[in-house]
Structure 1
Amino acid sequence: MKFSLINKNILVGVTLALSASLVSCKDFLDINETPNSPLAVPPTTLLPTGLAGSAFANANELNRFTSAIMSVTAGVLGSPATYDIYNTNGADFGNQWRFEIYGGALVNYNELIKAAELEGSPAYIGIAKIMKAYTYSIATDVWGDVPYSEALQGDANTQPALDSQRDIYLGNEAEGIQSLFDLVKEGLADLELESATKPGTDDLVYGGNMDYWKRAGNTLLLKLAMQISRVEPNVAKQVISDVIEGGSYIVSNEQNLAVKFGGQVGSQNPIHTYTNVSSFRNDQMISTRFRTLLQDMKDPRDTLFITRPTGEFVTIDNGFRGTAPAAANRSKFGTFVTGGDGSAPVRLLTNWQRAFILAEAAIRLGTAGDAQALYEEGIRASMAAAGVTTANIDAYFTANPTVVTLAGTDEEKIAQIITQKYISMVGNGVEQWNDWRRTGYPTLAPHQNAVGIDGTRPVRAQYIDQEVARNPNFPDNIYSNVRVWWDID
């Protein structure tokens, strides 16, 4: 079978991302030698490689970790079994830090900006800045203070300082640190300029649709603002209000910031690969807790989110240490997440996510919008994307008024919103974890046999051992029970 051009671009991006994870251990900032930043690479190659890198950063091992600790999956063997009992340390996520984030996506976006500047192509520059901000947000949300203003300088600075998470989000003019918000806004301004060249099929998200990229950038502003809404409510309210007033943000499922993957080996969604293809495919299965949540809500997405190899759901509880069901019988991520053949996109920002953000913001911050209408919009958009028919969605709303109607105190309404957001974000464990840390919702019972640092669910990842050893700017004693700056619960 011949690849289409877009599948060739996917294969280029995925192959380079995978090759980065297999090379010998080198300094993650040694960009002059990394295979992800060879000299004179054109924007048409750098863009899909960067996008694939961001998708892998979100959906690969960090997703295996976060889906387990957020009670969506349960560990059976290997790393997921240790994650499931909250056991993580500095030996975890080295490839994600060094090759998918810093030496992968971020290096590619930096090189893309340089290459596009030479060509006079701000369309590429704008996308690179938006995605650079998104990828840095993964790093700081997972690890807290990280290299940012001094990162990606190659041999000029191989031991970058760590910037505080507050400065990364809000900027620090005195220290010359640009905020993530300003980085996104710069990218949006670039997208307004005349461009000598524009992306086409090399754009694995929108195929070169600049209006959709503008909507994605503004929706990223909404996500970043909501992330800091507990510690900087005034900043969050202003950012969200400005985006609402501008009226350019994701409002339909076709506008999702979702990186496309193919159905052929080498171009498949990473969740499909580790769930169904790789030697790790039997390491985890769906948690009984996630299945029970859907069951209790009579949610029609259950068979779309979760497989039933035997015709029934076969799950285990988190932290379970008995004999797991036979591998062939286990419920795993369903076609919505994997695409069946691996062609499901990695969904980084979605229409339903935007609706739930605005619903929460209307209650928590007093921004414009009807929280109830936005809440319903989020549920409907998620169900439609999963494949539930309009008639069945309408029937669900009629039959389950207590689920689809916000009620009680503002805090109880926010709990409803985040619980539905958690369900809708299946396959994006990083965002589920972000919301739980920020709000405490959904309410999750401790896992069986939990150990970790103090038996509690991790609230950050520990710094990578290699970086602690090679860069004296890294502290060596920040463990997984220490909250990041925006996590105040």
Structure 2
Amino acid sequence: MRKILNILLTSLLFFGAWSCSEDIMDDINKNVNDPTDVGSHLIITDAIVTSAFSITGSDLAFYASVYIEHNVGIWNQSYNAEIRSGEPTSATTYNNSWNSIYQNLYNLKIIIDKCSEGGAEEGNYHTLGIAQVLTAHNLATLTDLMGDVPWTEALQPGIIYKPILDSQESIYTEVKRLLDDAIANFGKESDFAALGTQDFIYEGDIEMWQKFAYGLKARYAMRLSLKTPAYNDVISFADNSFKSSDEQAQFNYNGSTSISPFFKFFTDRDYFGASNSLHEKLADRNDPRDEIFWKINPKGDEFMFAPNGTPVQVQGTYAVSAISNSTAPTYLMSYHEIEFLKAEAYVRLNKLDEAEDALKNALIAAFQKDNIGLTEEDAETYFTDEVLPKFGINPLSEVMNQKYIAFFEEEAVEAYCDYRRLTAMGNNVIKLDNPKNAANQFPQRFTYGNSDVTTNENVRNAYGNGEYIYSEKVWWAGGTR
């Protein structure tokens, strides 16, 4: 009997120890640095940073600045983009940004699912609205540059491996829905605490996020001018958006632990030279920013502009941007853009007095950008002496050229989108000098990312050999995809 009892006790101890060990091993096998469930207030912070630094201020902006002649590519990949060799048609050129956008959209989807009906944070309306605004911004950036892209079947890893491409037209419908839903959610009382410092743009101020959403509605309504002109809507949306530069969607850098993307690109790569065509636009207007935008290359000994399309591939020679500094902000959307949108809409409605007022407001704000440093008085003098005479001759041309100048250099993607929209509408008011453009080598869009070109036959078939980027406009610019 005692032998049997000893066996039973030994067995109990063994199984008890085994059970305890399994529990311990379960805990040991958990990676506390890679949790399976994270609160939306933490995910949204990363989504904000990614939207600003890795997408708005990324390679997408660097290449757009070359195509739109804010900068001249003078070395390596940027030089290839300048002379239209390899880079514009390669699937690897924008692959990092392509991946960043889709990863960010996936993270934002997690937030939207969490905060929607039936989710773990149902009733967290304000964080839901912010995620919807950022999704609209990211998704619109993706389709504006690439055209038709995977969307409705995307963001389902392990379920759908080869998502189809959705039409740009349908994606724009989704962007509009996201912004409308966001505005509705901002009007609801949230059951959750405000984001506060987790929100690096507005510190949880939902009124500002709502103004940002209305600003994006104005931007995208104007983007569709060729397809469905709605200039009164543009003005209405803009009137509900930012009232000053203090309210704009601006992501700031401290210059040490966080550094402005354009400045980082220059200090790490030195791939840009000062654009002669942009300089000529400024010189033609006696624009005081002509003395502010550029400086002698730190490695050079004389001031030299780079010729658009025909630079020598050399570093340390051409002048470089003087407004690229470590704390230059990234604009997800600026107040001066809002006023420029209103100015264009008023011009197209033949309300020139209102257009003049909006243009003046835009210039005053652009002159006082953080890294420009001119005054309101400087802007007013310039407006009276130089801008108004040109506005009187061709209002649309002057509004759009002033917008183009103001967008140097942080808002290059928007300048690139404006140029494609204007030319599609027959408004060839912004003169670009790269001779490759006359040879039908202006990039009408960016290529798809190599990650999907090599793995998704739907994307691969749409990509082909990449040459389509010179001939096929995106849908809102008159193309089919």
**TM-score strictly above 0.5:** yes
Q: 1:313 to 1:373 in 2, by over 3 A?
A: farther
Rounded to whole Å, the distance in 1 between the matches of 2:186 and 2:72 is 42
Hey, what does 2:59 align to over in structure 1? Answer: 61
Q: Does 1:255 align with 2:250?
A: no
Deviation readout 1:336-374 (Å, 9 max, x if unpaired): xx3x2x222211211111111111112325689811111
Aligned counterpart in structure 2 of residue 351 of structure 1, from 335, 344, 350: 335
Q: State the 1:471 CA deviation.
A: 1.3
The alpha carbon displacement at 1:309 in A equals 5.1
Q: Give the superposition deviation at 1:330.
A: 4.1
Residue 86 of structure 1 contacts residue 455 of structure 1 at CA under 8 Å; is this kept in 2?
no
| Cα distance between partner residues in 1 of 2:188 and 2:144 | 31
Runs (5+) with no aligned partner, structure 2: 1-32
CA distance 1:470–1:109, shift in 2 (3 Å): same
How many aligned positions are there? 424
Equivalent residue for 1:391? Answer: 377
Out of 221-230 and 433-442, give the one that drifted further: 433-442
Equivalent residue for 2:69, pick from 45, 68, 71: 71
Letter in 2 for 1:315: F
2:271: which partner in 1? 283
Inter-CA distance 121–459: structure 2 relative to 1 (3 Å threshold): same
Return the letter of the residue paired with 1:470. T
Match of 2:218 in 1: 222
Q: Is the 8 A contact 1:92 1:464 kept in 2?
A: yes
Q: What is the Cα deviation at residue 469 of structure 1? A: 2.7
Matched, 1:107 2:68: no
Matched residue, 2:148 = 145
1:199 equivalent to 2:195? Answer: yes
Change (3 A) 1:192 1:307: farther
* Alignment match, 1:243: 237
CA contact (8 A) 2:400 2:430 kept: no
Q: For the residues of structure 2 that align with 1:378 and 1:135, how far apart are their CA atoms?
A: 25
SS of the equivalent of 1:480 reads helix
1:40 pairs with 2:22: no
Letter of the 2:198 counterpart = D
How many angstroms apart in 1 are the aligned matches of 2:159 and 2:125? 26
- 1:444 is aligned, of 431, 435, 457, to 431
Q: 1:189 to 1:396 in 2, by over 3 A?
A: same
Query: Are the counterparts in 1 of residues 136 and 179 from structure 2 also a CA contact under 8 Å?
Result: yes
Structure 1 unaligned blocks of 5 or more:
1-35, 171-178
- Offset at residue 223 of structure 1 (A): 0.2
How far residue 231 of structure 1 moved from its aligned partner, in angstroms, is 1.1
* SS at structure 2 position matched to 1:258: strand
Matching residue's letter, 2:105: L
1:462-488: CA deviation from partner (whole Å, max 9, x where unpaired): 223331231122223361121011113
Give the structure 1 partner of residue 407 of structure 2: 425
Matched residue, 1:467? 452
- Equivalence map 1:369-380=2 (5 Å): 370-380=354-364
1:241 Cα offset (Å):
5.3
**Residue 188 to residue 74, structure 1, CA distance change in 2 (3 Å):** same
Which of 274, 284, 291 does residue 296 from structure 1 map onto? 284
CA RMSD of the aligned region, Å? Answer: 2.6
Kept in 2: contact 1:85–1:451 (CA 8 A): no
Give CA-to-partner distance per residue, 1:411-455, whole Å, 9 cap, x none.
x3212111111111112211111000000354334424x399x64
- TM-fit CA distance, 1:135: 0.6
Is the radius of gyration larger for structure 1 or structure 2?
Answer: 2
What's the CA shift for 1:152?
1.2
Residue 400 of structure 1: SS of its match in structure 2?
helix
- 2-side partners of 1:398 and 1:354: how far apart? 21
Which residue among 443, 453, 476 is the counterpart of 1:458? 443
Which residue matches 1:5? Answer: none
Is 1:212 matched with 2:208? yes
| Identity among equivalent pairs (%) | 25
Contact residue 160 and residue 473 of structure 1 kept, 8 A? yes
Quote the Cα distance in structure 1 between the aligned partners of 2:302 and 2:283. Answer: 12
User: How far off its partner does 1:37 sit?
Assistant: 9.2
SS of equivalent to 1:406: helix
Confirm whether residue 92 of structure 1 aligns to residue 89 of structure 2: no
C-alpha distance in 1 between matches for 2:142 and 2:453: 16
CA distance in 2, matches of 1:463, 1:486: 18
Please report how far the alpha carbon of residue 334 of structure 1 lies from its aligned counterpart in structure 2 after TM superposition: 2.6
| Contact 2:387 2:398 (C-alpha < 8 Å) held by counterparts | no
Conserved 8 A contact 1:241-1:368? no
> What CA distance in whole angstroms lies between the structure 2 residues aligned with 1:370 and 1:390?
19
**Partner amino acid, structure 2, of 1:95:** N
Give distance in 2, aligned partners of 1:77 and 1:237.
Answer: 41
- Against the structure 1 CA distance between its residues 466 and 367, is the aligned structure 2 distance closer, same or farther, given a 3 Å change threshold? farther
The 5-angstrom pairing of residues 127-166 of structure 1 reads 127-166=130-169
1:121 pairs with 115, 120, 124, which one? 124
Counterpart residue identity of residue 391, structure 1: E
Matched-pair contact (CA < 8 Å) for 1:437–1:487: yes
- The Cα of 1:86 is off from its aligned counterpart by 2.7
Shift of 1:131: 0.9
Amino acid at match of 1:486: W
Partner of 1:370: helix, strand, or coil? helix
Q: Which amino acid aligns with 1:471?
A: N
Q: Does 1:189 align with 2:189?
A: no
CA distance in 2: counterparts of 1:433 and 1:52, whole angstroms:
23
Aligned to 2:308: 318
Give the distance between the partners of 2:431 and 2:64, measured in 1 at CA: 13
Match of 1:271 among 245, 262, 271: 262
CA shift in 2, pair 1:248/1:443, >3 Å: closer
Taking a change above 3 Å as real, the CA distance of residues 470 and 141 of structure 1, as seen in their structure-2 partners, is same
